[in-house]
Structure 1
Amino acid sequence: MDGAILSARKILVVEDEALVAMLIEDYLTDFGCAVVGPAGSVKQALLLLDAESVDAAVLDMNLGGDPVEPVAAALAEKGIPFFYSTGYGDQGRRTDYPAQVLGKPFNQEQLRTALVRVLTERDGPA
């Protein structure tokens, strides 16, 4: 069931740590998703979001000291579901855009669950 929900979905990855970004890319590719990015900065993420259509996004909450809030705002405005990825847990949430938080470190199944949840909330059950 999850395979059908995730297959061929375009997922924006916003993550400034190269190794974490590569891991997320590997996981998403394993799910059958197309990866957009990764973007390591707010500016880069906004440029990608303007250039590409995406189905969902994974947002690191802190990009080199900058909050990801402008990206969350752009996603919310476009109706694109997203969730945060952070090593700070819910305490790290410094945004006006509520979304689930996936704590770092996470494994492949935790990422799959978070992604299926946001897509199902938007699209309804498969």
Structure 2
Amino acid sequence: MTSTTNPLAGRRVLVVEDEYFIADDLRRHFEERGAEVLGPVPRVEDALALIAATAEIDAAVLDVNLQDEMVYPVADALQARGVPFLFATGYEKTAIPARFADVRHCEKPFEPERIAGALFA
């Protein structure tokens, strides 16, 4: 069950982030607001396996560079399933491939509240 005052309540959110403290901050923030967090996962391979094994994902937060591997295969898999996601990254929007031009983008550093708001805006 979601609410307009708390858009995270009851949502399943995938977090793909390789920086432990950022991943943990997002996980904690989302869970405190009633979301079920999938992950966090630090690698493309782990994220793809989790996507394949999970029937329902409401949204995802993706870091672009995961241990020197670009996250774009994960973004492609989410797009193929119609799962909304955003890039939470240190990269500028111009560095993101054109096929993701319509995907929301939040540059690091960011506050978890900003990410939560952008996911379900």
TM (norm. structure 2) is: 0.88
User: 1:95 offset after TM fit, Å?
Assistant: 6.0
In angstroms, what is the RMSD of aligned CA positions?
1.4
Structure 1 segment 18-33 matched on structure 2, within 5 A? 18-33=20-35
User: How far apart, in 1, do the equivalents of 2:117 and 2:104 lie?
Assistant: 11
Q: Greater CA deviation, 65-74 or 107-116? A: 107-116
Q: Does 1:51 align with 2:16?
A: no
Q: Secondary structure at the match of 2:18?
A: coil
Question: Do the aligned residues in 2 keep the contact of 1:59 with 1:84 (CA within 8 Å)?
Answer: yes
More helix by percentage: 1
Residue of structure 1 equivalent to 2:105: 101
Residue of structure 2 equivalent to 1:124: none
Q: Greater CA deviation, 31-40 or 104-113? A: 104-113
Q: Does 1:116 align with 2:120?
A: yes
User: How far apart, in 2, do the equivalents of 1:71 and 1:78 lie?
Assistant: 11
Residue of structure 2 equivalent to 1:123: none
Name the aligned partner's letter for residue 60 of structure 2. A
Residues 53-72 of structure 1, C-alpha deviation per residue, up to 9 Å, x if partnerless?
A: 21110000111111111001
Segments of structure 2 that go 5 or more residues without pairing to the other structure are none
Percent identity between the aligned chains? 38
User: How far apart, in 2, do the equivalents of 1:7 and 1:92 lie?
Assistant: 32
Which of 5, 8, 18 aligns to 1:6? It is 8
Residues 17-73 of structure 1, C-alpha deviation per residue, up to 9 Å, x if partnerless?
A: 111100110111122100001111110000000111211100001111111110010
Q: Secondary structure at the match of 1:48?
A: helix
Name the aligned partner's letter for residue 113 of structure 2. E
Residue of structure 2 equivalent to 1:75: 78
Residue of structure 2 equivalent to 1:88: 91
Aligned length: 116
Residue of structure 2 equivalent to 1:39: 41
Deviating beyond 2 angstroms after TM superposition, the runs of 4 or more aligned structure 1 residues are 94-98
